[in-house]
Structures are given as C-alpha cells and as structure tokens.
A and B are shown apart, each in its own frame.
Chain A
Amino acid sequence: MKIKPKRIKVSHKSKNRPPLHQLHRRDRNGNLTSKARHNMASDVTAEAAGQDEQDRSISRDGTDPLSLEARFDEQGRPQVPELYTSSPPIRDHLTTDTSISQDDVVKQCLPRLIKCSRSLVGVNSYGIPSLKREDHIKFLQEAIEYPRYIAFDPVRPWVIYWSLTALSLLGENVELYQQRVVETLSPCQNFGGGFGGGNGQLSHVATSYAVVLSLAMAGGGKNMDMLNRRALWRWLGELKQTDGGFRVCVGGEEDVRGAYCSMVIISLLALPLELPPNAPARAHGFTSFLDGLPEYLSRCQTYEGGVSAVPQSEAHGAYAFCVLACLCILGPPNEMISKYLDLPLLLSWLSSRQSAPEGGFNGRTNKLVDGCYSHWVGGCWPLIQAALSESPENPNAAKSTVGSLYSKEGLTRFVLSCCQADGGGMRDKPNTFPDAYHTCYTLAGLSSTQHDSGYSGMRHGEAGYPLDSAFAWESSKEDSDGPKNEALELIDAGDTLTSLHPIYVIPWGVVERCRELFSKKTGF
C-alpha cells in the first residue's frame, strides 16, 4: 500500500496531442470548458443522439478507460477516468419512469465523482476522496447509543450488529461494549428459544442472527454463555419447512433470509444438524436441518440468473448473497454453487449489477445503485470467484484462482465519493440520510475490495463437523506473490479497512474464536 508519486502519465497514443479527456473537459487554464459545464448539468437528460457522438469519441482514442495510472492535468490536478464522469456510451431515446430516476441518480453522482478531479483538497492522486474515518466512528458511536426512531424498536439487535461490525471495519475495539451488549440483548431472549427485536417480542431469525454475531464480536467467550443453545436449536426446528427452506419466525414468512440466518446460527454455534423431535418437518420425513435445503435454494434462481427471496420471485442482490453464503456453509463453494446454480447465468446477472458512471451496484435489473449493495452484491464476488477457482482439495489440480471479476475501482469511487455523508456515516446515495445499516454494508463492501478472500480447502483428515468447510476460508496475505490488489493501489494507506469473513460478515478472529469455543462441545 503506497501513495503513487504524482506524475503526468502520457500514453504513447496521445504523445502528439493532449489527452482527449482534457480536450473535452478543460481549457488551457484548467477551467471546465463550456461544453464540459453543459455536460455536467445536462448530460444525463440530453437526448441520446448528439450526446452519444461525444461520449463515444473518448474511447475511440484507444486509451484504456480502466487504466489504473493516475492522470493529471497541467496544474497537476488528478483526472478521473471518463468512465466515471460521463453518461454511458449508449442511451435509448425513450423516456420512462425507470430512465427518469436513473438519470436523476446519475445527475446526483456525477458532480461528486467529477468534483474530485477539480480540486486537490481531500482527494488523492486518483481523484478519490479519503475516508472520513473519525467522522464515521463518531457517527456509529452515536448510532449504537440512540437509533432515535420508534421504527427501530423491533430491530434493536440489528442496530447493535451494524454498528459493531462497522466500528470493527474502521479498526475500533468493540469489546469496550462487551458488558452493555450482553445486558441489552439478554432481555430479548425468549424461553422458547431465539431472540426477538426487544423485550417481549417474538423470536425472529434475523434478530437472532444479529444477536449471535454481536455477542461474538463484543468479546465472545463468556458472552456466549447467555445463549440457551438447546432452546435455540428446538426453536429453529419449528422454522424448518417441508420444502427445505426456513420461515423467519413462527407464523412468519418463508424466504432465503430464513435459510441463511438459520444456517449461520447453526454452524457458528455448532448446533446439532439433526432436527429436534418437535420439528414439524419431521412429519415430512426430514431428519436434518440440511434436508432439502440446497434444492430449495436452487429453486430460487430465476430466468435472469440471479436469485430471489422465494422461488419464482424477482432476482435481487440481497437475496443472492443469502443464497450463495448459505450454500457456502453447506459445502465447498466449487461443489455447492456449481451443483445447485447455473453458474454462467448467475455470473452474467451479478456482473450486470455494476453501473457506470456511478460505479456502485444496484440490486435488480433496471434499478438504482445503493451503497448497501456494496456488500450484498459485492459480497457475492468472493464466493463466486471461489466457485470458479480450481478445487484446493484436489492436490493434483493446479491451483488457479480467478481474479476480480468486477471493477473494484468503480466500487471504491462510488463508496468514497458518493456514499460518505458530510457529518459522518454512510448512505444509500447522494441526497439520502446516513444510517447504521448503510454504514455497515457500504464499508463491508469497500473492505471486500481491499482484502481478497478465498476458499482454502480442508486439510486432509480434518473433517469432523459436517459444516467444516464453512470455516475453511482465508484472507489472502498482503505480501503474497499474487497480482496486486487494484483497490489498494487506489486509496491512501490510511484508508484501509479491516477484513471480514465472507460468509459470517464479522471479523475473521471472531469466527475463529467461536469455532474454537463450540466445535469441541459435545451436546449442549
């Protein structure tokens, strides 16, 4: 990790004339040309025809739009690649609600992406603003104390999880909260097993997920003693459905969140995989939590290639993460993902989620970018890349890994330029308010650009607990011989975040600590 020395990079193709982006955007004094000013204001609403001509001429220059070389104008100011500063190369004439809202978002994002190239203040040599670390920490320290609105009453464990995870990403020691996390979450536990959103609320698998992960992050160890594992196991048994999936709570809806959250809890706490005697799914012939589960997840892949909340609904980024992560709990990624999903189709859909010029991810076809998909979609990538890589468990196969299949630069620019709120905290997109949820998942996505993680495979003879492969992942070492991480090249050394486990979405050490605590446990 280093800051590149400022220098003017002249590509051989443009030796005899100024680079085209300067030609289009700036006059000799470095001011925006009237054409460029016009573009900033009306690019996105302009009719396609005339606009197209100009946008296309840029790539005709032959310069690689994704080149990682920092570029500067005569004053030494950084230039952001055209890819992030102008309308997409092809735009249809037809105007509909979708195109209007898309244009509106581009209009909000462009000035922020471009602005970076107009001033040296607060931006690095790639035109990327620095991470407002201290502001975000302060924002989260307040968010975990006072989420303010009554609407958060049913999701208080989530507020704690989001804040602790985001604070961990920013390098803060969250064990300071140990005692208060335990005290606050204890009254959410129900005698019948599981945790509700607050005292006296029904147990819900999403809040239980947030509770388990929060307890683990805030010290683990004796925190975990407060978990009634036997009751949790029995309650999860009630959620298991005869089609293989899980409801989110007794009497609640069934969707892939139920499956992912349940399997995170079960595997992290090493609960028995055998269904408890009270489980209604036993009447269907099921005996294990795993029965019918991968097949259920498989049925949530849609004709578009993405994954939906329930079979036959619309493909959606957040549900895609739930399904991929759940499959990766059930077995090695290269076996599970390609066995249960059409991988090329999934890859095509996932790749389509990244949008230019914004650089961030949207959650569905023809929807808008949102910072939270930096994790929901961004978090799918390490899992998919692991599925595409050679099996590390086959010692005869040459180990080959697939490199990054999305633009880390795009995501980095979007998160740091568009999602940082002025007073701290991260947001969906410009013109929205920051909150703990977006801060957590936007930073988690940014972190995954900086730290590559992959499936390391299980060492021979290690197999014990059937879900061991969920713990056989590793974060690649910074000093390894592999190709340089482009995201780390783009940011200042002080802007790196810590790394999270790609399945459990908590720090690696926390996962290991849980694993040590529970894997040797026999019975409850």
Chain B
Amino acid sequence: MGGYSDSEDWKDIVPIPQDDGSPNPLAAIAYTEEYSEAMSYLRAVMGIDEKSDRVLGLTEHIIQMNPAHYTVWLYRADILIELKKDLLQELEWLNTISLKNSKNFQIWHHRQVVMSHIPNIPSNERPFLARVFAKDAKNYHVWSYRQWLVRHFSLWDSELPYVESLLQSDVRNNSAWNHRWFIIFARHTDPEKHSIRNNNADSEVSPETIEKEIEYTKAAISTAPQNQSPWNYLRGILRKQRKGLVPMKAFAEQFADLEKEDEVRSSHALDFLADVYAEEQNKEQSAKALELLARRYDPIRKNYWDYRRSLLGLGQVGA
C-alpha cells in the first residue's frame, strides 16, 4: 500500500486525524501507521457521507486490519445497497473473512443485512455454514444467523437432516438441539407473541410430531443418559403435550431406580423423577430423589436441591 495521502485517487479528501482528547489518553491503542491513515480517511468520507467504489475499497482495507470494527461494517453495508453492488460477490469475499473470524458479531449481522437483499438463498450458503460449524458447531452468532435465514427463506422442511447429522456426530451439541426445537416447534409459534411464561400463541403441533420427537429424544437419552440436552428437550415437549411428566416415569426409572441407589446412571433422570413423584403426590419419593442429588449425584447444586426439597413441605432432611 502506497498509502492514501500519496494516491491521486484520494487527493481531494482531507483526512481527519483521530481526536484522542488529550496527549495522554486512556486505553491508547498501538495503531500502525497504515491503520491510522485509513481511519483518518474513513472519518473524512463518512463526514461527507460519500458512498463510492473507492470508499468500498477503503472499508475492505480497514476490515482486513480490524474485522471487529462495527462502524466500518455498517457503512459498508449502506454503500453496497446504495450502489447496487453484486451481493453474491460480497458473500464470496465475506466467506473467506468469516472463516478466519467466525466469533465476531459484526460479520454475521453484515451477512444478514446483505442476504436480506438477495431474493433467493444462494446454493452455496448452507454448504458454507456447514464449513463454519465444522470448526465450531456451537457458534452462537452463526446459529442465530441460521435461524434468521430459515425463517426468512422459509427453509423449515430441509433443515432436519442437517440437524440430525450434527446430533449424530455429537449428541451433546445443545445448539443443535435448540435448532431442532426451532424447526419443529418454534416454527409454529409467532416470535412476536409467544412466550414460555404464558405458553400462549401456540398453534397446534400434531400429536404425531410430538410422538416422533419423544421417540427420537428417548433414543438420544439412551445413548448417553447423563447428557442434559435431550432431557431439557424432552421436558419442553412434555410441556407442549400438557399431559405432565408421569407418562415418562418408566422410561426415566431405567436410569435411576431409587431402590438401587448405587446404580444411578443419570442425575437428570433423578431430577426428572423428583418432578414425576411430586406430580403423583408422592412427596417422600420426590424428597428421596432430591436428597440423592444433593448428597451424592450432583452435590455442587446442593443448595438448589435442598430448596426444591423445601418446596415439598416436608420436614428437615434427616430429621
């Protein structure tokens, strides 16, 4: 880079150096000359709201030096839209940066803004996301973006096989379970109305779907019963079904039989059974499950288990 100050293309712009407020500012960054100069030109062109090819190039240059720079991303998105740039080409460029900086908020928001101006989902989009998830299958921002993508392009029906492949390779991937919930259940709820607290604004999920999900989840639990993700998912389904937890009692007891205290295979089964027994008004059994959790199988959460036990209205532990 010969620098902007030496360039014929930029000679009409008077750069605005950074105002640091004092000669001795706090949190002073060790800027490189290249970065400082580019930022001085950015301040200048943003000041006159210039949206042009050369500014697009400038934003690219700064992003390469500092991809966490939200201001530059937002300005770049404005330019792309205003100049009606080839957005598919933008995605191509974005792909290379995203793979290197996948944890950054700005990149995924930018992608969403760009994608919202593209009429149909590009064929490369989901293969690209698969590459990102191959590096980190729990990347929060990428999952949020994918959910937006699914809703925006109505991709509900083609998502399930991918989720299942992720769960196949790691049944503990909670992001994948959450995505499964999203495509099976949240699909039928209005994100502007639905809340867990009020359990309202739900349109019907068919009993067949609920049964199928219960079976899938039970199989997942059986492969690794100490995995909390499918237990949470199962409880979610059962709340939807509104038939309580008792129908799953025999299933849960496979992993935690209170008569065989030494052979508990899942603390989550114990937790589940504590609720089952409470639902059956069998407070002693419920308390026993909670005591086992507090004392032996999940003692880091002892205070919580004791609190749960206190809600049963029985006497003190061991009294």
Q: A residues touching B (Cβ–Cβ < 8 Å)?
A: 56, 59-60, 64-66, 83, 89-94, 96-99, 144-157, 159-160, 163, 177, 180-181, 183-187, 196-202, 204, 243, 249, 251-253, 295, 298-299, 301-305, 309-316, 339-342, 345, 347-349, 351-352, 354-356, 359, 364-367, 402-407, 410
Contact = CB atoms under 8 A, between A and B. Distances in A.
A311 B297 CA distance: 33
B213 to A, nearest CB: 12
Nearest to A181: B26
A150 B67 CA distance: 10
A98 B140 contact: no
23 contacts: A59-B296, A60-B262, A89-B296, A89-B297, A96-B170, A144-B26, A148-B30, A153-B29, A153-B66, A181-B26, A184-B20, A187-B18, A201-B71, A298-B197, A303-B185, A312-B189, A345-B196, A365-B229, A366-B173, A366-B174, A405-B304, A407-B300, A407-B303
A149 B192 CA distance: 40
Contact of A251 (B30, B77, B192): B77
Given A340-B197, A364-B138, A154 B174 contact: no
A146 B112 CA distance: 34
A366 B31 CA distance: 39
Contacts of A354: 300-301
A406 B239 contact: no
B12 to A, nearest CB: 19
Nearest to B28: A146
Nearest to B112: A253
A299 B19 contact: no
B253 interface: no
Interface string B124-158: 00000000000001101001100100000000000
Contacts of B5: none
B195 A298 contact: yes
Given A153-B66, A180-B24, A183-B24, 20 more contacts: A56-B296, A60-B296, A90-B264, A96-B169, A96-B172, A97-B173, A153-B68, A153-B69, A154-B71, A159-B27, A160-B26, A201-B69, A298-B195, A299-B192, A299-B195, A312-B182, A342-B196, A366-B172, A366-B174, A407-B303
B312 interface: no
A418 to B, nearest CB: 15
Given A96-B170, A249-B70, A303 B181 contact: yes
Contacts of B26: 144-145, 156, 159-160, 177, 180-181, 184
Secondary structure at the A interface, as helix, strand, loop or mixed, is loop
B27 A145 contact: yes
B27 A156 contact: yes
Chain B CB within 10 A, most for which of A295, A299, A403 = A299
B241 to A, nearest CB: 13
Contacts of A83: 299-300
B227 interface: yes
A312 B25 CA distance: 42
Nearest to A311: B191
B299 A66 contact: yes
Given A59-B296, A66-B302, A407-B300, A147 B109 contact: no
B46 interface: yes
Contacts of A407: 300-303
Chain A CB within 10 A, most for which of B178, B191, B265 = B178
A365 to B, nearest CB: 4
Contact of B303 (A65, A180, A345, A404): A404
Contacts of A149: 29-30
B123 interface: no
B122 interface: no
A58 to B, nearest CB: 9
A402 B308 CA distance: 12
B1 to A, nearest CB: 15
